[in-house]
Amino acid sequence: MRFDGTTVLITGATGGFGSHTARRFAELGARLVLGDLNAEPLETLAKTFTSDVITLAGDVRDPAYHRALVSLAVDRFGSLDCAVNNAGIVQPMSRIPDTDPVVAKNVIDVDLMGVFYALQAQLPVMSAQFESAGTGGAIVNIASAAGLIGSPFLAIYAAAKHGVVGLTRSAAAEYGRKGVRVNAVCPSFANTNMLNDFLDASPNGREAAEHALTRGIPMGRVGRVDEMVQAILFAAYPQNSFMTGETLSVDGGLAAV
């Protein structure tokens, strides 16, 4: 897979999935537009690349931030060919009655509305490119295995990720004739800093939390980041031109049982 000359926008770029995804796209020839909440980690990440990289810090809960990211891509590189809507957070494990409403709203605002606002900014630009030049684009939304099955003690996170799957399928149907492919990657938990923080914050202890996460996975382990990134690249690959509206499960078989 090569992405020479393509412009790729990635949100949540400094996290485990985001930074590894950015690095692989860069290695495969892409120009990068990287977004995340804080400017300093973004700038530190950008300095590790030799390819064309621009960054913009902001809050994915703000629709104007997504419009600014898309405008930056077009103004700097002339097009937006791929977007990976990766920014997300996870809730502490809790039963539904015990889940803090403030936490619940924030998860919905970041994980679901952040993707919705991203699509609002990205879809018109990509479809206009298709109309004018015959090249649209590909959008990859990072959902979760929790977006495909029930997730006890992670209900609001699962609800948000189910929403991402719904947005993905709806956008694919709306823009299939407009040159934009929209797919979702649905990973189970992988060995990222977010997972480690989540496990460390578990009220029942890290070992019990990790056992709870992996006991239903046929492969018996959490995923590796590189395994998730490979699926993102596959969904984004320009020659993978007839796949849209799909959810790619990268979950060790979790959704199969």
68 SS3 class: helix
What is the rounded CA–CA span in Å between residue 45 and residue 54? 10
Q: Is 157 a catalytic residue?
A: yes
Strand order in the sheet with 180-187: 53-57, 31-36, 7-10, 82-85, 137-142, 180-187, 247-250
CB contact set of 63 (below 8 Å; sequence gap of 6+): 117, 120, 121
Question: Is 30 in contact with 3 (CB distance < 8 Å)?
Answer: yes
Q: Catalytic pick from 65, 117, 157, 175?
A: 157
* Distance from the first to the final alpha carbon of the chain: 32
* Residues labelled as active-site residues: 157
